[in-house]
Amino acid sequence: MKNIAVLTDSGCDASIQEEKELGISIIRMPIVVDDKEYLEGVDIDSDKLYELMNKGKLAKTAQVSQGILKNKYDGLLRDYDGVLHIPLSSGLSGQYQSAYQLSKLYKGKVVVVDAKSACFPLAILARDAKRLLDSGKTMEEVRDIIEANDKLEALIIPYDINYLRMGGRISKAAASLANLLKIVPILEIKGDGKIDVFDKVRTEKRAIQKSLEYVTDIEHKEDEYWMVIHDHRLEDAKKIAEELKAMTNEEVLIEKFGPVILSHTGPNTIAFGHFRKLAK
């Protein structure tokens, strides 16, 4: 049986400690704040980024350069027979396409997967991919299982719509009107890995309730991982998790947004939903 490394990037929101616990490798992505570049998980964490963004600083993410990515592949291949790379969704970042092009140089020793996923679901997919590899499946078989499994369904409720404006997701005029009318947007991330506006309501309470009803309206809830992901809103996350558990009769994971995703959603955002467990 080949010894295969599973690699993802810090769009998975996993800390260095969680990286060790999951038994995977994570390449850390750069975050730029006021033209100063930080390396996620090394120079900046969610708490530090939270402080900067609450001071009005605009954060942006950047792709890992092909040079750094090549060094990562080369380093892993000194210890492993192959690398299964599961980067941030192609619908959210150009990292997948960059990695895919680079992988062609390795003649099958590096296989890149478009998981169409983000946040902690990406880390769970990487963990489950390692389990499948350890059971004897090939990198290509695991890639095909993951790419056929694009069943992420989550709703995102941003606390401050202005971060969506600064990130280019909505216009300045639309943000001003939304603030004036006290509109709360609900964003949806689906199986294609892209984010769209799902709905707009008048209160966060209504946004949460409508989102809970929507994400739980599926059959075979036992086939899903259920999650709540938040930024500095643990008590609210616990309440939502309790409601999700009551509505699904399934365990619910609670995780924090990492800096990469937080830089796009803004502070105090909360999200929840489900994603399909990988077939054995």
Q: Is 38 inside any structural domain?
A: no
pLDDT-wise least confident of 91-100, 173-182, 194-203: 173-182
Q: Is 43 inside any structural domain?
A: no
What pLDDT does 172 receive?
57
Q: Is 112 exposed, middle or buried (0-12, 13-18, 19+ CB in 10 A)?
A: buried
| 171 and 264 together in one domain | yes
Last residue of a domain, one of 115, 147, 179: 147
**Residue 63 pLDDT more than 80?**
yes
DSSP tag of 88: S
| 129 and 257 together in one domain | no
- What's the sign of the alpha-carbon dihedral 154, 157, 163, 166? positive
| 132 and 158 together in one domain | no
Last residue of a domain, one of 131, 147, 163: 147
Q: Is 221 inside any structural domain?
A: yes
Q: Is 41 inside any structural domain?
A: no
Residue 19's pLDDT band, with cuts at 50, 70 and 90, is confident
Q: How do residues 185-243 score in pLDDT, each as one tens digit?
A: 888 886 665 677 788 888 899 999 999 999 999 999 999 999 999 999 999 999 999 99
CATH code at position 143: 3.40.50.10440
| 9 and 138 together in one domain | yes
Q: Is 22 inside any structural domain?
A: yes
Predicted structure pTM score: 0.87
CATH code at position 234: 3.30.1180.10
User: What's the structural domain count of the chain?
Assistant: 2
Q: How do residues 64-80 score in pLDDT, each as one tens digit?
A: 999 999 999 999 999 99
Bridge partner residues of 272 (DSSP): 155, 228
Contact 228, 270 (CB under 8 A): yes
Contact 275, 155 (CB under 8 A): no
